[in-house]
Structure 1
Amino acid sequence: MDPGPARGFLRLVVIVAAIMLTYWYVTGITYNGY
């Protein structure tokens, strides 16, 4: 198996997870009125 695409996929997953966590954090603050 070529490690290149796998590494790129893992990086993509990490980026998406970080974006989702940031989105939850921001929307949570907005929802709570802070």
Structure 2
Amino acid sequence: MTSPSEVANTIAFLLTDAGANIVGESVKISGGSVLR
């Protein structure tokens, strides 16, 4: 199960210069629970 801090880390990354080119995407933060 994904923790709130893992969601926060993803959001923090998207707000950095490294995440600047990721726009208009839906990011699933599932901790691998959607693997087939």
Tell me whether the two structures share a fold, i.e. TM-score over 0.5: no
Relative contact order (C-alpha < 8 Å, sep 6+): which is higher?
2
TM (normalized to structure 2)?
0.38
| Rg (Cα) greater in structure | 1
Structure ranking higher in helix proportion = 1
TM (normalized to structure 1)?
0.40
